[in-house]
């Protein structure tokens, strides 16, 4: 198994985390068509190489975060808070989101 660098707890065994899948762009639910929504639900890039994905530290602090992982050898390059969270922190006037994490 591999170590996942939690943004709050540091590197922990992957069995403590839940893998939530690769990040995709969600269409606007108010204007999307059923085929477009289904494509968003089902179609995956399934990249063999570096991917950006979402994890949650389920058996730990409960934080959601974004991980950059190479699916060929499971090496992890970066772990950061979700983009939406970064935006919120920036709006609150704090420039460095990692300082908060």
Partner 1 sequence: MWRPLNGLLGNGRGSGPRARYSAFGLLRRGLSGADWPPAWSTHDLAPSYDVVVIGGGVHGLATAYYLATNHGLRNVAVIEKRYIGSGASGRNTAIIRSNYLTPEGVRFYHRSLKLYERLAADLNFNVMFEQRGHLTLAHNDSSVRTMRWRAEVNKLEGVDSEVIGPTEVKELAPFLDVSEQTRYPILGALYHPPGGIVRHDAVVWGYARGASARGVHIHQDTEVLDINVIGGKVRGVVTNRGEIATPVVVNCTAGWSSVIAGMAGVELPIETFPLQAAVTEPVKFFLNPVIVSGTLHVYVSQTARGELVFGASVDPFTSYSTQGSLEFTEELAGHVLQLMPSLARLRLLRQWAGLCDMTPDFSPIIGATPVAGFYIDVGWGTYGFKAGPVAGEAMAEFIATGTPPEIIATFDLARFDEGRLVGEKGAAAVGH
Binding site for partner 1 (CB under 8 A): 1, 13-15, 18-19, 21-22, 34-35, 38-39, 41-48, 71-74
Cβ-based nearer residue to partner 1, 42 or 62: 42
3-state secondary structure of 81: coil
- Choice between 14 and 88, CB closer to partner 1: 14
Cβ 44 vs Cβ 96: under 8 Å: no
On the CB side of 17, CA atoms within 13 Å amount to: 27
In the complex, what is the shortest distance from the CB of residue 92 to partner 1, in angstroms, rounded to a whole number? 32
For the bound state, the minimum distance from the C-beta of residue 46 to partner 1, rounded and expressed in Å, comes to 4
d(CA 84, CA 49): 25
Nearer to partner 1 (CB atom), residue 15 or residue 26: 15
Rounded Cα distance between 66 and 62, Å, is 13
Q: How far is the CB of 7 from partner 1 (least distance, A)?
A: 17
């Amino acid at each position: 198994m591999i170590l996942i660098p939690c943004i709050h707890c540091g590197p922990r065994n992957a069995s403590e985390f839940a893998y939530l899948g690769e990040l995709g762009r969600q269409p606007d639910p108010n204007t999307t068509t059923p085929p477009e929504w289904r494509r968003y639900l089902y179609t995956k890039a399934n990249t063999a190489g570096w991917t950006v994905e979402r994890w949650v530290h389920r058996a730990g602090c409960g934080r959601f975060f974004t991980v950059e992982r190479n699916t060929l050898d499971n090496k992890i390059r970066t772990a950061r808070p979700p983009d939406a969270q970064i935006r919120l922190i920036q709006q609150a006037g704090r420039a460095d989101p990692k300082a908060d994490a």
